């Protein structure tokens, strides 16, 4: 089921609280870590943000030596700043994130082998366990020579925790002049969302003539109130039944999306974040996670 938002200009006047001023790019010298470079460069240009290359080591070394250790050259990272934090890589990444205003981490999901196929690398797992405010994850299988955004998929499960992803997706689309497809996967057999303020899916997923029109109107109204794109931006809402992770990834692949945006519940456990892992691993594009607990609310 598809629905277009009614005409509104609310999104164009929303406070730009999601602006990114600093892009954090962790590199460890391995080839797989470099797959995040085009994504970091593209986002730095889009946001007009400063690109920070994060190097973690036991000793302070000269910038040229750091780049050599990371396997990159200055011309690969135009305008970048080299940040060094002594300590383990996850601690280094998180300390730089906390020190810089309006940060966005961009990193590969793994740079080596993982003990289990459904896990990310140990550094990525620890960073996610500390609930970064905003992070873009790039699976090695989704590497691209360049990164530009023309199509965005916004995942929303009907809970207030997922609202945190709406405004970043809307404002990113406005910057990139990209289209946005919001997808809600209704799985009524699993029961209604338990979070207060949730918008439960109708019981009759396959009978849109009953409850879906009013539900879609309410869902769209909520998205507009949170800064969803106005009619000036190509935006549509899709409602599907099935397994959320698989359906989101299927849509991203079928539309050849450049980015998936979704909320991060902040409790990074395998059992509770399997949906997020499926999307990151199989969507065919980078995924931007917005922390539901750390994100600031827009000023109205």
Instruction: Give CA angle at 144 (227, 84), nearest 5°.
Output: 80
Tell me the CATH number at 11.
Answer: 3.40.50.620
Q: What is the pLDDT of residues 187-243, one digit of tens each?
A: 554 444 555 544 555 554 455 444 456 656 666 665 566 555 555 467 788 878 788
Looking at 142, 167, 186, which one is the last position of a domain?
142
241 by DSSP, 3-state: which?
strand
**219 burial type by CB count under 10 A (0-12 exposed, 13-18 middle, 19+ buried):** buried
Distance CA(159)–CA(227), nearest Å, equals 16
Per-residue pLDDT reduced to its tens digit, 172-197: 888 898 998 989 887 554 444 555 54
Do residues 33 and 56 lie in contact, with contact meaning Cβ atoms separated by under 8 Å? Answer: no
pLDDT bracket for residue 144 (50, 70, 90): confident
Show the domain range for 286. 2-15+147-291
- Local structure of 5: helix, strand or coil: coil
Residue pLDDT, tens place only, 259-285: 999 998 777 765 555 788 999 999 999
Residue 165 DSSP class: G
Tell me how many domains the chain contains. Answer: 2
**Per this entry, what is the length of the chain?**
300
Residue 130's CB is within 10 A of a number of other CB atoms, namely 14
Based on the domain organization, do 36 and 85 belong to the same domain?
yes
Give domain status of residue 299, yes or no. no
Lowest-pLDDT choice from 42-51, 57-66, 85-94, 275-284: 57-66
Residue with tokens 């550094």: 123
Helices 122-129 & 89-99, crossing angle to 10 degrees?
Answer: 40
For residues 117 and 241, membership in a common domain is answered with no
Residue 300 belongs to a domain:
no
Residue 296 resides in a domain: no
Angle, helices 37-47 vs 166-176, to 10°: value is 80
Region 6-27: mean pLDDT is 62
Q: In this structure, are 7 and 110 located in the same domain?
A: no
- Give the end of a domain, one of 142, 168, 195: 142
**Statement to judge: residues 116 and 173 lie in one domain:** no
| The last residue of a domain, from among 94, 115, 142 | 142
Tokens coding 225: 């109130």
């Amino acid at each position: 089921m598809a629905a277009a938002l009614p005409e509104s200009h609310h999104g164009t006047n929303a406070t730009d609280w999601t602006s990114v001023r600093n892009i954090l790019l962790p590199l460890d010298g391995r080839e797989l870590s470099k797959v995040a470079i085009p994504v970091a460069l593209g986002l730095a240009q889009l946001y007009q943000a400063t690109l920070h290359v994060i190097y973690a080591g036991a000793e302070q070394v000269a910038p040229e030596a750091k780049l050599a250790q990371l396997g990159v050259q200055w011309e690969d990272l135009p305008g970048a700043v080299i940040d060094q934090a002594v300590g383990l890589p996850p601690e280094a990444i998180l300390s730089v994130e906390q020190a810089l205003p309006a940060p966005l981490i961009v990193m590969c999901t793994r740079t080596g082998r993982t003990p289990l196929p459904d896990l990310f690398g140990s550094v990525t797992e620890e960073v996610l366990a500390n609930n970064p405010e905003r992070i873009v994850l790039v699976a090695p299988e989704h590497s691209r020579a360049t990164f530009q955004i023309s199509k965005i998929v916004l995942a929303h499960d009907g809970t207030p925790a997922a609202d945190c992803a709406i405004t970043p997706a809307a404002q990113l689309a406005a910057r990139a002049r990209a289209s946005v497809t919001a997808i809600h996967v209704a799985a009524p057999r699993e029961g209604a969302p338990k979070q207060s303020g949730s918008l439960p899916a109708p019981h009759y997923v396959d009978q849109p003539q009953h409850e879906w029109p009013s539900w879609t109107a309410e869902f769209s109204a909520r998205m507009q109130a949170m800064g969803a794109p106005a009619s000036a931006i190509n935006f549509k809402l899709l409602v599907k039944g099935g397994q959320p992770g698989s359906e989101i990834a299927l849509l991203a692949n079928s539309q050849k999306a450049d980015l998936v945006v979704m909320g991060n519940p902040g409790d990074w456990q395998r059992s509770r974040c399997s949906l997020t892992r499926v999307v990151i691993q199989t969507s065919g594009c980078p995924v931007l996670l917005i922390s539901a607990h750390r994100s600031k609310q827009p000023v109205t």
